[in-house]
Chain A
Amino acid sequence: MEKRVVFRSAWLPYALLAPQIAVTVVFFFLPAAQAAWYSFQLQDAFGLHSEFVGLQNFAALFASPQYLQSFRTTAIFSVLVAASGIAISLLLATMADRVLRGALAYRSLLIWPYAVAPAVAGVLWAFLFAPSIGIVTYVLKRAGIDWNWIIHGDQAMLLIVIASVWKQISYNFLFFLAGLQSIPRSLIEAAAIDGAGPARRFWSIVFPLLSPTTFFLLVVNIVYAFFDTFGVIDATTQGGPATDTQILVYKVYYDGVKAADLGGSSAQSVILMFIVIVLTALQFRFVERKVQY
């Protein structure tokens, strides 16, 4: 879609675009190009000398068991976050759609975790589950469960999944509720007249009609688990115990900032950029079908 009526000026549009383009070039393109450049370089320990090594950094990454392990950890983490976040929010949204009275009140009470910073969410849950003083730990201990996420990798994973899902429920809930409310009532009524019960109606009509929303949220949640959960992890497990919760983004940060391995970290950045491009393309393919630009 294009405007029929336009203004004419030889310099004004460039002046209007300049701030946005300047910020984009200096803080996006330059660093991204540098990351790509560094990923082909090998630096000595002091950063004084570097040489071009081609794809060696990438080869080293894919030969490294730690890196492949980090891929697996990220895959498990993002699937757990996306699947449980979507399932819980869909349940809550379906219920909220059913109760006519109070749906808005429930919405207000469910949306505010969106405002909590991931790092703060991590701290709150780490406190609840703290091995010696946590209130949830206390309940678990009384139930005979040995809870200590500082030692047990699977419990650390569970902790960061809970904290990440908690923060994301509100977002998913809003989109599901909007999706549910846009389903024509007549379809549901027709099915009810034909004798379909609530469960049957949900699986045969509502769920299939919601599938665009579900797919959209699936991509958004995976992107969220990949990148935005950095704060949750840094405030709680810091990738530990050992590297059991070291997802890809955390490893880029750890290798680049803490271990000062510029080449390796940049190569990981390039791989991550590639993953984001694939995910964004997926998301837009879906959007394309629904919205006309």
Chain B
Amino acid sequence: MVERRPGLTLFAHAVLITGVLLVAFPIYVTFVASTLTLEEIMSVPMPLLPGDQLVANYSQVLKAGTTGGSQASVALMLFNSTVMALGIALGKIAISIIASFAIVYFRFPLRHFFFWMIFVTLMLPVEVRIIPTFKVVSDLGMLNSYVGLTLPLIASATATFLFRQFFLTIPDELAEAARIDGAGPMRFFVDVLLPLSKTSIAALFVIQFIYGWNQYLWPLLVTGDESMYTVVIGIKRMLTGGDAANEWHLVMATAMLALLPPALVVVLMQKWFVRGLVETEK
């Protein structure tokens, strides 16, 4: 620090601690609510210390959802969300890395055309083309399937850019040496490029896993069948309307289960997360 101002440093800590507490408050209340009975939540104000229903509430939702509204099992929804998030993250990485490899390491007609074609998809978020996309997916018979949940979302301009940027920084000598040693393009890709790209892949994986897990509008349209709900959609379906009618203790337990996996990914893989976030936005 430039100068010693203990008062100001103290103030900075105070602001930060307030910020941290305000950010954490909703999650804390959610956790508390997920350990209470419905009666305890309904008695205004609800207690702010955890109750003893933790095991009961969580095992209820994991097995059979809520008792009144949606009765789909949250365990199944968590499985669906995992499949969707992994499918989107790995799918995006796989098709983008080979596409960038082609664009960077080959010269061929229409190269720039293809590059721009991928680039403009940045400008077409799913929200602005929902109905036609839904029609395409439904015509292809992909409704209520994992393919329908993941495939339409795996094209990625950002991932293609990221890999392209990264490949451009790799010294030409490596490709030269590989060619002199008689390695073909795929051999070079598998033995040289892939190992070098490990950190970029990890960073991208964290970002795309969260993106996939948190998808809302798309699964809402594509999954009509309860057995295909993702957990984020499941919560929405549990809210049957009116604050008094909802089984809040079960909704909150489901909310905790829905936010825990991506939150853990962010906290445990923080280094990759920060890197991925900063790099995908470039």
Interface residues of A (CB under 8 A from B): 1, 3-10, 12-14, 16-17, 19-21, 23-24, 26-32, 34-35, 38, 88, 91-92, 95-96, 98-100, 102, 106, 108-121, 123-125, 127-128, 130-135, 138-139, 166, 169-171, 174-175, 178, 185, 188-189, 192, 198, 216, 220, 227, 230-231, 234-235, 249, 252-253, 256-257, 262, 265-266, 269, 272-273, 276-277, 280, 287, 291, 293
Contact = CB atoms under 8 A, between A and B. Distances in A.
29 contacts: A7-B106, A7-B179, A12-B102, A13-B106, A16-B98, A17-B98, A19-B99, A23-B152, A27-B133, A27-B137, A30-B136, A31-B129, A31-B136, A35-B131, A95-B15, A95-B16, A95-B19, A110-B23, A111-B273, A112-B263, A115-B259, A120-B235, A120-B255, A127-B248, A131-B243, A132-B244, A175-B278, A192-B3, A257-B131
Nearest to A89: B19
Contacts of B33: 127
A8 B188 CA distance: 13
Interface stretch (B49-57, B61-69, B71-79, B115-123): B115-123
Contact of B24 (A1, A21, A109): A109
Contacts of B137: 27
B48 A135 contact: yes
B20 A31 contact: no
A276 B25 CA distance: 34
B166 to A, nearest CB: 12
B185 A138 contact: no
Contacts of A1: 168
A120 B135 contact: no
A118 B219 CA distance: 14
A166 B46 CA distance: 23
Contact of B118 (A16, A20, A128, A231): A20
B255 A27 contact: no
A99 B5 CA distance: 11
**Main SS of chain A's interface residues?**
helix
Interface residues of B, number: 108
B232 interface: yes
Nearest to B259: A116
A115 B214 CA distance: 8
Pick the 8 closest A-B CB pairs, nearest first: A31-B132, A117-B214, A115-B262, A231-B216, A16-B102, A34-B132, A13-B106, A7-B185
Contact of B95 (A20, A114, A192, A265): A20
Given A14-B102, A20-B118, A127-B248, 10 more contacts: A3-B104, A19-B98, A21-B118, A27-B155, A30-B136, A96-B16, A98-B12, A123-B255, A287-B282, A291-B282
Contacts of B233: 119
Interface string B198-215: 000000000000100111
A171 B277 contact: yes
Contacts of B13: 95, 99, 102
B29 interface: yes
Interface of B: 1-3, 5, 8-9, 11-13, 15-16, 19-20, 23-27, 29-30, 33, 41-42, 44-46, 48, 94-96, 98-99, 101-108, 111, 114, 117-118, 121-125, 127-133, 135-137, 151-155, 160, 165, 168, 172, 175-176, 179, 184-186, 188, 210, 213-217, 220-221, 232-233, 235-236, 239, 243-244, 248, 251-252, 255, 258-259, 262-263, 265-267, 270, 273-274, 277-278, 281-282
A119 B233 CA distance: 8
A36 to B, nearest CB: 9
Nearest to A99: B12
A114 B188 CA distance: 37
Nearest to B129: A31
Contact of A116 (B154, B263, B273): B263
A174 B277 contact: yes
Contacts of A102: 13, 16
A124 B13 CA distance: 27
Contacts of B1: 98, 100
A133 B16 contact: no
Contact of A273 (B111, B114, B124): B124
A290 B147 CA distance: 39
A38 B33 CA distance: 47
Contacts of A114: 210, 266, 277
Contacts of A139: 45
A69 to B, nearest CB: 19
Contact of B121 (A16, A28, A115, A293): A28
